[in-house]
Amino acid sequence: MLPLSGITVVSLEQAIAAPFASRQLADLGARVIKAERPGDGDFARRYDKTVHGQSSYFVWLNRSKESLALDLKSSEGKHVLSKLLEKADVFLHNLAPGAVDRLGFEANMLLEKYPRIIVCSISGYGKSGPYREKKAYDLLIQCEAGLLSITGTPETPSKVSISIADISAGMYAFTGILTALFNRNKTGKGSVLEISMLEALAEWMGYPMYYTVYGKEELKRTGASHATICPYGPFQSSDGKTVFLCIQNEREWVRFCDQVLELPELSADSRFADNSSRVAHRDLLDSIVADNLQSYPAEVILERLDHAKIANARMNTMQEFFEHPQLEARGRWREVITPAGPVQALVPPLTMNGFEPVMNPVPSPGQHTEQILAELGLLKQDESDK
């Protein structure tokens, strides 16, 4: 039995945040009905054409869903949505602020009409406050949450290259819906959930916020190095590769000096006596470490770090990540069918005894419309005769 078998999710979703949440639900066995605009559907289908002519975003986020073409500007479309919600467990949406309310599907009204339904909305800034009507995209939320102020080099602030604000909001929607389903089992009552992208990403900004507010100093941008731990970050090897290493405590620092750098006297230097001292003398220490490590090829450095039990990593390209031996050894890949052919997809990161996650096809726009309308008894006679 799949964990969410028997749960039906109706989603008015687009782009990333809500589709990310609903795909996690589908992975666990929920039936996800994705309402899309008639014709081209979710605009994320056209973000790029890299996966057999399809959008990489869409293929990633929309497997195992049923696509329903639905014109919500028409009375017929609204009627179809109403019929769907009569039997739905979850109603998820991330349309523009106020759009769902204007269509006549305000959350508290739905909860009064369907007492067991769970209504979850995702927006940029929430339903109240001075920013409630402001448009929100991932980069803009990263800016508002202060993420760009601490990401990048001292000269150039940089965005996180994945849609981290959307993903964080989608993840809180996913866990929030699971929580609401659990609570419904105890109380018999549904819930109204609200997720703000700003507030979701703000939760992840706790460390730099506390560091700055109570330390009275803005966290500095340090590229791929760590702003408050040293040595921690990238170093070049003699064969031109980049090796990352992370020192977490004084025991590791002593082993690093002794077994990796072969400079045991360095750990006794008062300028590097503890992490705060090392951060204060970061430029000097990084130059000493860099000069030492660049005499050796990457494999030698990594072997020394492993032997000394110092955390380390290679800087993989995306192709190297795709071919990662750890993922292959653990059987983390499955084939998923898309309208333009099969693709490789990672199994969801949660591993649980007793079930295999759902990895069903990615739908074409409106692929399941007739099937869903027939279930609702809304298929016109000439269409049902096909």
Strands 242-246 and 232-236: antiparallel
H or E segment and range at residue 254: helix 250-255
* pTM, full prediction: 0.91
Instruction: Note if 226 is an active site residue.
Output: yes
Nearest by Cα to 7 from 186, 185, 187, 181: 181
What tokens were used for 56?
């990489």
Residue of 79, 226, 281, 324 marked catalytic: 226
Tens of pLDDT, residue by residue, the chain (386 residues): 899 999 999 999 999 999 999 999 999 999 999 999 999 999 999 999 999 999 999 999 999 999 999 999 999 999 999 999 999 999 999 998 889 999 999 999 999 999 999 999 999 999 999 999 999 999 999 999 999 999 999 999 999 999 999 999 999 999 999 999 999 999 999 999 999 999 999 999 999 999 999 998 898 898 999 989 999 999 999 999 999 999 999 999 999 999 999 999 999 999 999 999 999 999 999 999 999 999 999 999 999 999 999 999 999 999 999 999 999 999 999 999 999 999 999 999 988 888 899 999 999 999 999 999 999 998 875 555 55
Residue 129's SS3 state is coil
Q: Starting at the edge strand that comes first in sequence, how are the strands of the sheet with 311-314 ordered?
A: 232-236, 242-246, 311-314
Give exposure, 18-41, as e/b (b: 16+ Cβ within 10 Å). Answer: bbbbbbbbbbbbbbbbbbbbeeeb
232-314 has which CATH code? Answer: 3.30.1540.10
Q: CATH 3.40.50.10540 residue ranges in the chain? A: 8-204+325-384
Q: Starting at the edge strand that comes first in sequence, how are the strands of the sheet with 90-93 ordered?
A: 65-69, 31-36, 8-12, 90-93, 118-123, 191-196
DSSP for residue 262: -
What tokens were used for 174?
């996913």
> Do the Cβ atoms of 215 and 227 come closer than 8 Å?
no
8-204+325-384 has which CATH code? Answer: 3.40.50.10540
* Rg, Å, the chain Cα set: 25
What tokens were used for 240?
């031109």
